[in-house]
Amino acid sequence: MTSTGPSCGRPGRRAGRRTCGSVRGCRGRAPTSKLAQAVADEGGPDTFDSLLATDDEYLVFCGVLGLGRLLAAGPPARTRTRIEARLHEHATDPRWRVREAVALALQRLGDADLPRLFDLGTAWVGDPHRWSGGRPSRPCANRAC
């Protein structure tokens, strides 16, 4: 038996079903991506820490995007190093959406400080622990990255 979900409003959906990963009522990537970008734009370090501490894939996605905004803002060296380490850790997360958030966070850095992004990428390429779960991550579809 199906019914309209609590916030989805579409007939034929089971009540309580998550329609786009972990955000109820959102259909597809565009609404969730826009919401995550808004969270990254408006949140602060404490908000991002709280989001990253959850087990929810979408909330971690939002937190990682927020780290990208903080990094792009040009924080002091000590804070920058800590943010870069956290992004590097999430780059090997087994959840593809979290890894995607790292790529989007790095795009923010590249928009603000391209030489810093190149330096960070060079450092990460030399990391012997870049594998996810003992297996190589799927290669980038666009080899120009």
Residue 130 lies in a domain: no
pLDDT at 31: 52
Structural domain tally of the chain? 1
Residue 121 lies in a domain: yes
Residue 47 lies in a domain: yes
The share of the chain scoring above pLDDT 90, in percent, equals: 61
Q: How far apart are CA 92 and CA 130, in angstroms?
A: 7
Residue 108 lies in a domain: yes
| Domain containing residue 67 | 29-125
Q: Which CATH number fits the domain that encloses residue 62? A: 1.25.40
Q: Which residues contact 48 (CB under 8 A, 6 or more apart)?
A: 62, 63, 66, 67, 70
Query: Is residue 125 scored above 60 in pLDDT?
Result: yes
Residue 95 lies in a domain: yes
Backbone angles phi, psi at 103, to 5 degrees: -60, -40
Residue 139 lies in a domain: no
Residue 63 lies in a domain: yes
What does the mean pLDDT of the chain come to?
78
Instruction: Give the pLDDT mean for 39-50.
Output: 95
34 with 48: CB under 8 angstroms?
Answer: no
Query: Is residue 48 scored above 60 in pLDDT?
Result: yes
